[in-house]
Amino acid sequence: MAKNKLNKNWLHDHINDPYVKLAQKEGYRARAAYKLKEIDETEKLIRPGQIIVDLGSTPGSWSQYARHKLAGGENGGINGTIIGLDMLPMEPIADVQFILGDFREEEVLVQLERILAGRKVDLVLSDMAPNLSGIAVADAARVEHIIDLAIEFTRAHMKPSGSLLVKCFNGTGFNELVLKFRKEFKTVVQKKPKASRDKSSEIFLLGKTLKNLV
């Protein structure tokens, strides 16, 4: 009974959410687009000519927003490259190259390298999150694991001057994640966009310019 009430409350909040309505009106697949939009507007992350990788891109709203920012290329295309990766299928987005699979696997990395053709990435985006259990210590470990994967990917594929934006949660283990980011990046910023629900502990970490390059 309590679960049904929770589901009804969530549905009510979702239907009446101004960002959900805005996403429907502007053609974005999820309200998450406005989280990236707000961070981008303050941090100037996305610029024409960039190579952008969207980790865990499905359903595609971050890739859609990035495409919107890179629009204006030849023949109505984009000025830049956007690559989405996810283990779940994603409906096609014009000018976005999508790779289905786990980015830790050789087969997926070969496809990525083919698209990059020796180029390095300017911006890595990760809106990935694990399925949370409600057990703080276990959830913190899962979030940390995903962020470790994003950092590892970034070190392998990004320009030294590039940026990594990841989703995490403000709670158990968060301070350790901030320290981890400070070890990896010269500039670290915490962002809680307005489109992130007040009740949510969701927070984004932005790292700019890699440190300790060999």
Mean pLDDT by 10 residues, the chain (214 residues): 56 70 88 95 97 97 97 87 97 97 95 97 95 87 95 97 96 94 97 86 96 75
30-210 topology per CATH? Rossmann fold (3.40.50)
pLDDT per residue over 9-60, tens digit each?
545 565 678 888 888 888 899 999 999 999 999 999 999 999 999 999 999 9
pLDDT value, residue 10: 45
Report d(CA 79, CA 181) in Å as an integer.
30
**What per-residue confidence (pLDDT) applies to 209?**
98
Which residue in 21, 167, 180, 199 is the catalytic one?
Answer: 167
Is 86 annotated as a binding-site member?
yes
Active site residue 199: no
**Does 198 count as an annotated binding residue?**
no
Provide the residue ranges of all domains of the chain, joining segments of one domain with +.
30-210
Taking Cα atoms as reference points, which of 101, 122, 106 lies closest to residue 48? 122
Query: Does the annotation flag 101 for ligand binding?
Result: no
